[in-house]
Amino acid sequence: MNDTKEKLWNIGFIELIAISFLSSLSFSCIHPLVSSYAVSFGAKIEAAATAVGIYSISAMCVRPFGGYFTDRYNKKVLLFISTLLLGISFFAYVFCKNITLLMILRIIHGVAFGINSTVNFALATKFIPKSRTGEGLGYYGVGQVIAQIIGPTIGLKIKELFGYTVLFFGSAVVVFGAAILFFMVFSYHEAVRPADSKERAGIVKILKNLIAPECIFYAMIAGLFSMSNGIVNSFLVLLGEERGIANITLFFTINALFLFLLRVTIGKVLDKTSLLLVVSVSLLTGAISMSMIGMAGALPLILAAGFIKAIGHVGGQVSLQSACVKRVDESRVGVASSTYYIGADIGNGLGPIWGGKVVAAAGYSASFFTMSVVFSVGILIFVIYELLHKNKKQVVKEA
């Protein structure tokens, strides 16, 4: 595939957005119901919560290996196999009637997701012109955002009307159909790069094959946005109940709506604006939105926070994701994408755990205010890092 081709909306890019959307839709239909499904067959709430969280942990653990295989083996085959494994996972939920089996399945499902999302992203970059990376990645995430908007409602309605079995079967059929259609119509050829003996030698070189060191800092900064998502998803509704704020779930609707609108409009701006400015502003808006939620006593301020949070989320994550891709050569895009997603996985897992400890010690408001402080510290660290990095490049250039 020719990366220099300036046409963004090519058939390969569209097909990858479609398969990402269908996989995300099936996931979004069942993910909010996993804990209630576990409770329905007698699992305790603590075990049900663990079953939910273990998914992200397994995805995080497999990502470095997913990136390694993505860079060395046929991406089309890897995406097809991992999508089939996702479908098998959805199908297998029907037969998990005890918490042990459910835990094992959640681990397998997380492994499939970790590989699938990594290879899909890496493959998508092959169809995005270098000069339009930010714009392309913005569009690439639109399908996932739409799935997050409509998936939980669809899943809940199917469960209420037909039960869990139909929900799991239906999700599996959608993913299986997407995998088969993808394999039949998607055209992609590449010269794979097998690892040689020199590349395998030495612990440092092994680690560089699994993790992109030049992307770690950006991945950790991006993880702050995921961390705030974990806190909001875990404690916003409870904060609303404590303060008597009715219809507080409209926050998610407003936030998702503007995530969608911004993703389809902001990409061109990101490609023409400095990373330092975009990420600094994004972290600042994240801090402001968390403070607004922490002090909110009525719905209007909550909804405004949802809008502001969307600005920071899209600007920060898309620009940092684009920066990770640009900092590696073409042969290491898979490792770069897996490194980026590791930051998101850590943030998603750490947010609820850390936030829960703050809530237990000081209440719901404190969890949002402290997240605002974390964002503020993140701005300082990011600015220092970028300025030092810029100065370092200038010194090297002059030398």
Lowest average pLDDT, out of 222-226, 250-254, 281-285, 369-373, goes to 250-254
**315 vs 43: which has the higher pLDDT:** 315
DSSP states of 202-237: SHHHHHHHH--HHHHHHHHHHHHHHHHHHHHHHHHH
Q: What is the pLDDT of residues 76-101, one digit of tens each?
A: 888 899 999 999 999 999 998 888 99
- Phi first, then psi, for residue 274 (nearest 5°) are -65, 145
Concatenated DSSP letters for 293-330?
Answer: HHH--SHHHHHHHHHHHHHHHHHHHHHHHHHHHHTS-G
The class of domain 211-399 in CATH terms is mainly alpha
Assess whether pLDDT exceeds 60 at residue 394: no
Euclidean distance between the first and final Cα of the chain, in Å?
A: 36
Domain with CATH 1.20.1250.20 in the chain: 1-188, 211-399
As a 3-state breakdown, the chain gives helix, strand, coil percent values, each rounded to 5, of 85, 0, 15
Percent of the chain with pLDDT over 70: 89
Round to whole Å and give the CA distance between 98 and 41. 7
Residue (of 394, 375, 215) closest to 280 by Cα position: 375
Per-residue pLDDT tens digits for 159-213: 889 999 999 999 999 999 989 888 887 776 665 555 554 444 455 565 666 788 8
What does CATH list as the number for 1-188? Answer: 1.20.1250.20
Q: 108-135 pLDDT, tens per residue?
A: 998 998 888 888 888 888 888 877 777 7
Six-digit token string for 26: 């099936």
> Which run of H or of E encompasses 54?
helix 45-72
Determine the 3-state secondary structure of 363 from DSSP.
coil
Dihedral sign for Cα atoms in the order 22, 25, 30, 31: positive
CA distance 355 to 369: 10
Q: What is the distance, to the nearest Å, from the Cα of residue 162 to the centroid of all Cα atoms in its chain?
A: 30
